[in-house]
Structure 1
């Protein structure tokens, strides 16, 4: 019974050999092996030599598979490390960019404030300059008014003194010509000097009294008028002194105002220089922040391009390694099938089948 089963199994195996060889021949590696076997079968002790060759080929393929698997593992580890490095750099770029962007609004506000301060202080300087112009014009008008009044008072004093001389002539035995002269002088005095003076009424009244017959006919009355004119002249002198005093103080205050404006403008100019320097620094810092923000974005984008490139390369390497592994496994299976054939089932019929297979 056992013999019958063995014969049946042997018959089955031998019957499957042509089909197995046909399948091997469909593989390019298998065809090369079969071609080599066909050549070796013409030699003595061919089966042993072929078995030795196949056995060595098996171990070579297995070693190559181990090396390839190790190399592929190292390559995938390298890819993982590279991806981790890219992720780390991108994360740092994102954090740095966010930090720079966070600082930009504050620096923009600082720059705007400094620019506004410069504009404000420039406006203050312009205002002070205009005030100096206005004050100078006002002072010029005041000084002209003072000089006009001073000349008027001096003329009035001189006119009154001249009137005194004419009036004294009324005390002489023949004052007739003096009366005419006094009348003309009276009109000229009022016209030239006393038209706008606070002493106009007093001077006019005195001149009229002197031309009155009842007054100038009495020497005592004339002397009273002369004395009154002296008092009037003294009063005018007092007014003139007060006007001079007021003019001196007005000039002093004017010069103090000009000096104050000048010092204020110097102070403002110094502050403007400081503010402009601060504004330039803020502008430079703002540009640095904007450039750093852009740089971090460029770093991130470049690393993203690098990531995609590595993804493609690593995927291609992985696919190539997998294809090579599958191909080697097929080759190993072919070698194992042939080893099994030459180790346990090689005979004349097998030799004939190997020689007859078309490769």
Structure 2
């Protein structure tokens, strides 16, 4: 019998008392623990998901004799992210929300295996039973939605996505049992809105958050919760674990998804004034040229014509539309490739 089967047979439903006890231990620990300690840990990157990392850690334990940390013997069979003690500690997030913002109407929480979501739900419902609690996860790995539909945790394929911190292949048994029948709604978020949410956090809040961390914000931006308009809502932003290289790529993807990157090709005269005229047309609309490549050989036009392939950045989707109209007036045969969002919130290229 595998670990997950054991947990499913004897699920532990988190209680509010456990969260209160965890809060007391955390408060005491902060006082006595140095906050800036260089631990010098060896970090090994392995696999594509949290489950792969746990499997690797178990192999290291078996082959090297190193100790794999457990919290209590009675929870030894439980995945760390579904450990009731970990869940109790995570529940202090919910305590902070309802004590600092008692008038809150709804809390939206990202869901990996579901521990944070379940713990916040227990805390919020205890203090304010009218408070709604929603979960949010990426559409590419919808393990919690599938679990709620099936009535039990079921494994789902893990597909690479921006919210990799939520890439658990199955909902935690304890988290699911705590959530079952109590969660108000589960939201499944398209990846393109996760990128847009990361951009919004950078620009509006000056906050670097990873894809998993902004999943709740992305759900609101996608328009999945129109019933919350005018309500006092809290989105839990739960992670900032992203390296500079990936952040740079996400920024570009987010700008494209927001309609702020415009790629186009235009024919121009193959002499200096052709380039000058194109540059002036772009400058007149206050757009920023990111790249420009000219093509003379592989084009079906006269030898005096060059095609320019251009990528520009604009201030907004409306700004991009204005630039397109301006360029079409000057270059009727111009071709555009712009990423938009249709009514179903999917990426469409035209």
Q: TM-score range by the shorter chain?
A: under 0.3
**RCO comparison, higher one (Cα < 8 Å, 6+):** 1
TM-score, with length taken from structure 2? 0.16
Structure with greater Cα Rg: 1
